[in-house]
Structure 1
Amino acid sequence: MARRAQDIYVEWRGGTCRVKWWSGEYREDGRKRFESKGGFTDEDEAFEFGQDQLYELRHGTGISNRDGATLMTDWIDDWFAATDHAYTTYKGYKSIINKHIRPYFKGTAVKDIDVIAYRAFRKHIHKKLPSAASAANVMTVLGMILDDAVPRLIKVSPVERKRTRGRYVKQTKRERKRDMDIAAIDQLARNAEVVCGYTGYVMIWTMAMTGMRPGELFGLRREYCYPNWPTSDPRPDPDEEQRYEEDMRRYGKGDGLMPAIRVQQQVQQMQGQSVAEVPPKYYSYRTLVVPPFLADMLEKLLASHDNTWVFPAIGGGCLKAAPFSKSYWFPISRGCDERTRARGNGRTRPAIPPVPDFAGKRMYLMRHGHKAWLDEDGHPRFAVESRMGHEVPGVEGTYSSVTVPMERAIMKALQERWERFERERAGG
């Protein structure tokens, strides 16, 4: 005998009974779509289970059997298609998903990823990736995917926000850094000049004296570089007219004006050897004043070529499309023996000495060192963070601004650092 109520009924089959309840959906022919669960031996227990399911569906906390059976790989596709990220973020998430998350959870339903399954993946990824920071990035992406599955596919997210069980694991170690010695920068610049000419020499000094990110440095176009900018600014945004006019009064070549570079974009690697010109990281558009000695170098460099890029690759293209680490940074920082140039008609490239402070290190550390120089010289925190392209939170970020005296102080301090080095090198 079956027990029935509105949108729910229990029926016996053999020695057990099953309960069916309306899922809240209709079939294409207009009939109600029901879901069911069997294996009950008590009719009242089965009926109460069905009532619980109806209650959850009516209050938005229920999950249909069909949604609960969604495979993780299908949910990843839906989740990723619905996200809107900057190119660099999109590229990073796609790589993490395709290399780590999708293969591991292939064939697994989202509902089956509980706390234990989440911990198992975390243990797996920390063993697979030697860098704790890289593993943390993977777990962050997985966390977002699972969090957004609530309440459609799972009732609660298995992501553990605070570690309370298991063996203690020390937080990510900070990269050990040395104080950036200007003599080391000079040697890097001289090595770069051997590798790729005067372009390399100026590029190293520009990164050390501005703290630009590598992608911003590689993507710097001549119209955004001293002495062309701001006169050559394309002025693409009509809403920025006030800023354009202020730039003309503040920066440029001439009496009372400050030499500067405008960070308007970065370049990122696309498929193959092509590059994409995209906004700087975190949309950190900014103007970077440069000391006079660097302004002279930049003016001389731009007069020496007519390339679109301020710092072109040896072949004339964008450095981002070149094998930069292998062909440029490694010999610049690690040094190399004398060798025959590939395109030099048999001419040899002289031996390059290693730079111990940077050998085996990232070029990015010059950006870190630039900030340390600014901090050493005692510049206001807001001026320093703005120059680095960082957002300053709270009241300080809302009310502060970078003034002309602040920028002139930065120029003066960097110029004095250069001049001290020049005097010490000359023995004076």
Structure 2
Amino acid sequence: MAYAEKRGGLWRARWRGPDGTLESEPGFQTEKAALKYGRDQEAAIRARRYVDPRGGRMTVTEWVNIWFPALDLEPSTLDSYRYLLEVFVLPEFGDSTLMSLTNEGIAKWEMKLVKSGYSKKTASNARGALSTTLGDAVPRYIPLNPAAKSKGKGRKGSSRIERIEKESKVWASPLQTLLIAERAAIISGLDATFIADITIQYTGCRWSEMLALPPELIHDDAIDVHWKLYELNGRFYRGRPKDGSMRTVATPPFLNGLLSHHLSSKVPLKCSCVPQLDDKDGISWCTGDAYTFLTAEGRHYRRSNFSERVFRPAADGWYPRRSDKRDRMPVLVDYRHPWPGKPLPPWPAVEAGQEYVAPQGRGRPRVTEDSRLASWLPVLPGLTPHGQRHGYQTWLDEDGIPYVAQSQQMGHEVPGMRGVYSHVTDRMLNEVRDALQQRWLAALKMRATLSPTSAVPSLNAALLTHSAPM
């Protein structure tokens, strides 16, 4: 129980902290004021709002060393936190006490990161890691989180631009999806790439969920999305989907046919991962399991490599810039070959006002009178595999699919009482299948107007079947 004691001409408040330590606060003019302060601290302890009077003197490094080992997160998430803390946060604030941190000082640090050459996203992620770290120190050690961004603060224009950009997330139409998947397969040289990209678009699954799809979870009219393949430091391990969103996704007839044909073809279905002798980190690394989508060598697709070398050129029509030594280049194709042409080694783009000289040397295509060269036009610049998931949700909205069925397909929880009393029926799932099937057929019809055939075997077969007389 709190009490007050006389100390010279003033009074001191005494109370027991959460761990039983006898705490004190001097400097009160009256016994009543000291006693009230002590009782207020006891009330704060009961309400879990108590601030340790000594906790604020702890340094950020000391708190991180307490906080980080207690986290129970995916290894990839822990690795991201570790990187942001070690590279950005601790070099700047490691020796600072928790109580000395201010919102203004942290905001200046974030802007300094941008001025020093880091992207705004990187700076924001670094501040987010600091905010998450300090958030768990409230209220035990500090009363408020100085790294949290206050709502309604900052440039109004910036927040409006961010909101508009988020609302205008790039998503693809069925024809754009088809064209990008076709190009991706041409660049990679794998029919499986076409089927994998179509699977993402027509199931709404995440990139990592597509990578983790095992053959045994593919059914006649649905797939079970039960796993996600995490990529960490060049290796892979399997875990449950984001937020535990395990689900069964209804699939349209055409996709069932593509997947069935893929599984029956002579493609590798077991990855080439092997156990490592020094695996002592407690992570269940992939050691050679069955997966539906692998490279020709039986390896897992790597997100960054696939994006840079396959998906970005397919969607943008340009190979992205790699370094100061290699600027972005248009995708050059020889259209003597079946649509959409055979990709050739990239050439630099023509610079305005300068005479263009074609590069020569080993690996460069020889330009002859018979050459038929062209550059791919952009299909949908900025599209990402996750943007395809946005497009899937939009398609379901346009097709009038009930919200509860949409949520099951996407792996989202239906909030409130609606989630308790609403249920997905077979009729709803059949409506999903029918709507997606019609979108595929419409895309095939439009694609056939460009060329009746394709260099991608699966698409070529679909075009021929679609154009065959009934």
State the partner residue of 2:235.
274
Q: Secondary structure at the match of 1:150?
A: coil
Residues 64-121 of structure 1 deviation map (CA, whole Å, 9 limit, x = unaligned): 44x3321111102211222222445434433333333222212101111134434444
Residues 211-250 of structure 1 deviation map (CA, whole Å, 9 limit, x = unaligned): 111111111111212xxx4xxxxxxxxxxxxxxxxxxxxx
Q: Secondary structure at the match of 1:323?
A: helix
What is the CA-CA distance between 1:288 and the residue it aligns to?
Answer: 1.2
Q: Secondary structure at the match of 2:96?
A: coil
State the partner residue of 2:335.
none
2:411 equivalent to 1:422? no
State the partner residue of 1:96.
84
Q: Secondary structure at the match of 1:370?
A: helix
State the partner residue of 1:309.
291
Equivalent runs, 1:44-83 vs 2, <5 Å:
60=45, 61=50, 63-65=52-54, 67-83=55-71
Structure 1 residues 404 and 351, CA gap change in structure 2 (3 angstroms)? farther
Read off the aligned partner of 2:419 and give its amino acid letter: G
What is the TM-score normalised by the length of structure 2? Answer: 0.66
Decide whether the 8 Å contact of 1:188 with 1:355 is kept in 2. no
Q: Secondary structure at the match of 1:293?
A: helix
Q: Whole-Å Cα distance in 2 between the matches of residues 321 and 147 of structure 1?
A: 31
Residues 327-365 of structure 1 deviation map (CA, whole Å, 9 limit, x = unaligned): 322333234234369xxxx999x9896462433432321
Q: Whole-Å Cα distance in 1 between the matches of residues 304 and 144 of structure 2?
A: 46
State the partner residue of 2:344.
339
State the partner residue of 1:402.
424
In structure 1, runs of 5+ residues without a counterpart are 12-17, 26-31, 38-42, 230-251, 253-258
Residues 37-72 of structure 1 deviation map (CA, whole Å, 9 limit, x = unaligned): 9xxxxx98799999899777766546344x332111
Q: Secondary structure at the match of 1:319?
A: coil
2:163 equivalent to 1:181? no
2:181 equivalent to 1:192? no
State the partner residue of 1:142.
130
What is the CA-CA distance between 1:289 and the residue it aligns to?
Answer: 1.6
Structure 1 residues 112 and 283, CA gap change in structure 2 (3 angstroms)? same
What is the CA-CA distance between 1:372 and the residue it aligns to?
Answer: 1.2
Q: Whole-Å Cα distance in 1 between the matches of residues 172 and 406 of structure 2?
A: 17
Decide whether the 8 Å contact of 1:267 with 1:277 is kept in 2. yes
What is the CA-CA distance between 1:161 and the residue it aligns to?
Answer: 6.3
What is the CA-CA distance between 1:208 and the residue it aligns to?
Answer: 1.4
Decide whether the 8 Å contact of 1:191 with 1:353 is kept in 2. no
Q: State the identity %.
A: 25
2:306 counterpart (303, 319, 324): 324
Structure 1 residues 95 and 72, CA gap change in structure 2 (3 angstroms)? same
What is the CA-CA distance between 1:198 and the residue it aligns to?
Answer: 0.9
2:260 equivalent to 1:299? yes
Structure 1 residues 222 and 69, CA gap change in structure 2 (3 angstroms)? same
Q: Secondary structure at the match of 1:301?
A: helix
Q: Secondary structure at the match of 2:237?
A: strand
What is the CA-CA distance between 1:137 and the residue it aligns to?
Answer: 4.7
Q: Secondary structure at the match of 1:314?
A: coil
Q: How many residues align?
A: 368
Decide whether the 8 Å contact of 2:5 with 2:11 is kept in 1. no
2:98 equivalent to 1:105? no
Read off the aligned partner of 1:323 and give its amino acid letter: N
Read off the aligned partner of 1:223 and give its amino acid letter: E
State the partner residue of 1:29.
none
Q: Whole-Å Cα distance in 2 between the matches of residues 275 and 323 of structure 1?
A: 15
Read off the aligned partner of 2:99 and give its amino acid letter: K
Structure 1 residues 34 and 330, CA gap change in structure 2 (3 angstroms)? closer
Structure 1 residues 156 and 200, CA gap change in structure 2 (3 angstroms)? closer
Structure 1 residues 47 and 125, CA gap change in structure 2 (3 angstroms)? farther
Structure 1 residues 351 and 276, CA gap change in structure 2 (3 angstroms)? farther
In structure 2, runs of 5+ residues without a counterpart are 270-289, 318-330, 333-342, 347-362, 366-371, 450-466
2:377 equivalent to 1:388? no
Q: Secondary structure at the match of 2:385?
A: coil
Q: Whole-Å Cα distance in 1 between the matches of residues 262 and 200 of structure 2?
A: 15
Decide whether the 8 Å contact of 1:313 with 1:322 is kept in 2. no
Structure 1 residues 164 and 416, CA gap change in structure 2 (3 angstroms)? closer
What is the CA-CA distance between 1:164 and the residue it aligns to?
Answer: 5.9
Q: Whole-Å Cα distance in 1 between the matches of residues 171 and 56 of structure 2?
A: 54
Decide whether the 8 Å contact of 2:195 with 2:259 is kept in 1. yes
Q: Secondary structure at the match of 1:261?
A: strand
2:147 equivalent to 1:154? no
RMSD: 3.9
Structure 1 residues 48 and 164, CA gap change in structure 2 (3 angstroms)? farther
Decide whether the 8 Å contact of 2:316 with 2:379 is kept in 1. no
Structure 1 residues 109 and 184, CA gap change in structure 2 (3 angstroms)? same
Residues 265-296 of structure 1 deviation map (CA, whole Å, 9 limit, x = unaligned): 1111112x211111111111111121111111
Read off the aligned partner of 1:383 and give its amino acid letter: A
Bigger RCO (CA 8 Å, 6+ sep):
2
What is the CA-CA distance between 1:33 and the residue it aligns to?
Answer: 9.2
Decide whether the 8 Å contact of 1:178 with 1:357 is kept in 2. no
What is the CA-CA distance between 1:183 and the residue it aligns to?
Answer: 2.0
